[in-house]
Amino acid sequence: MSRSILTCLTLALALLVIHAAQAQKPNVLLIVADDLNNNLGCYGHPFVKSPNIDRLAARGVRFDRAFCNYPVCNASRTSFLSGMRPDTTGVVDNVTPPRTFLKDAVMLPEHFRRNGYAAIKVGKIFHTGKEFEDPRSWDLDIVENTTSKKPPEEQILRKQGKSGIVLKADDADTWDGYVARKAAALIEQSAKGDKPFFIAAGFRRPHSPYIAPEKYFTLYEPERLIPRSGSADHLKNIPDLALTYRLGAAKFPDNQPGETMAAYYASISFMDAQVGVLLDTLDRLKLWDNTVVIFHSDHGYHLGEHGGLWHKMCLFDETTRVPLIVAAPGKKSALASSRIVELVDIFPTLAELCGLAQPPALEGTSLVPLLDDPNRAWKQAAFTVVSRGTNIDATRSLDAAKMGRTIVTDRWRYTEWHDGASELYNHDTDPFEYANLSSEDKQSSTRDELRKLLHAGWQAALPR
């Protein structure tokens, strides 16, 4: 056999091996909601209807104590897409592009693209806007258009509450409806290709304005919905920096608050129905056996807690805690994990599930061991930060030197602000974080222990 023929045969064999290896890698469907807290049926909410997210939870592991690393869109997304924490990314607001300091860091979808995946995005995954998108991460990138926040006037039936927009439109004729159906079509197309796919579907809902077709608004009775504002007394011991409305941010509406809550819930149920479109596609194409599905939000959301908090940018449980569900072939299903996890863990988790090497700069921990044993020993704490400035409007540049820092352990939340103020909450007796115990002498040893853990940093809290 001649050397040229042998060379050709060797090359052909190598290509077959590469193709076989790619074919064996699982697909990935990453579903990201915007401004979604844990108000979902599978997380025990008494009113919110989320049957599709609930059925995804029945297929995988639901993480009951998952936390974002920064409670605002751009900073959080930069963190979980880079696999690095905000102190490393340098992004602490909604105006700093993701690669301002990260430069050539490899982002999550880019890592999969480099490893032979067809990387496809529909909707909001990175923060919205040309300067925030990351073209090098995708083979196909379908970005948001203006209808995601401003539906056509002819579709608007009425307004509800401070931020609700009721549509006379079919789901398919809305932005999030388009995201679901386009992503579903791309799943079907990609499943026929010669590469595994990494498809990210980013929904705008339930982000304000709370836009949804009328049928979703009819699911909720505003008069039954009352904000959990807490007594006025508890606010006396909470620092001003912790309460955004004390710094000039919008306060949750006092007049008919149930109308606004119902609008937020309607947009959750609408988004849930679009998730159902994606799950139905996996059902129809029989893709569950070779597809990893992750659903999560970028951060949580306030609906009037602590005297009127609204939106995000806070360090309480409502904005730092997020829904996170992982359904992976061969892993546990219909189980919940009470272990503490973080959004920065998503990158290493997907890499391990798909057999890819992890970039050395990652600052999260793969959750794969918890997918096999959901309640094994795990992290001591989750770490979340938020910045402040002359105002706390995240559409303006904030001061990275003026930070609030919080940790959550199995029992406690401890928070420090740049002006020296602190907070300490016992989740065993005070799950809604009403009683700030930081100044109580009898809690001094607990406070000192948690302060030490906070200052030791995330590496000190890793699983042992």
- Residues identified as active-site: 73, 127
Distance CA 418, CA 424 (A): 16
As given in the structure block, the two tokens for residue 195 are 């590469």
- Helices (H), strands (E): how many in the chain? 13, 17
Distance CA 252, CA 208 (A): 13
Distance CA 61, CA 425 (A): 27
Q: What is the DSSP letter of 252?
A: P
Query: Cis (ω within 30 of 0) for the bond into 206?
Result: yes
User: CA angle, corner 421, sides to 420 and 427, nearest 5?
Assistant: 135
Phi-psi region of 86 (alpha: psi -120 to 50; beta: other; left: phi over 0): alpha
Distance CA 415, CA 408 (A): 9
Distance CA 303, CA 309 (A): 6
Does the CA dihedral 155-160-162-163 come out positive or negative? negative
DSSP code per residue over 48-70 = ---HHHHHHHHHSEEEEEEE-SS
Name the residue with tokens 């990138």.
141
Over the range 293-309, which residues count as b (16 or more CB within 10 Å of their CB) and which as e?
bbbbbbbbbbbbbbbbb
Distance CA 21, CA 193 (A): 14
Backbone angles phi, psi at 382, to 5 degrees: -105, 150
Distance CA 227, CA 439 (A): 28
Among candidates 315, 282, 293, 441, which has minimal Cα distance to 371?
A: 293
| Length of the chain counted residue by residue | 464
Cβ-Cβ contacts under 8 Å for 435 (sequence gap 6 or more): 234, 237, 425, 426, 429
As given in the structure block, the two tokens for residue 385 are 């930060």
Over its C-alpha atoms, the chain yields an Rg (Å, rounded) of 22
Distance CA 413, CA 447 (A): 10
- Helix axis angle, 257-285 relative to 175-191, nearest 10°? 20
Whether the CB-CB separation of 256 and 202 falls below 8 Å is answered with: no
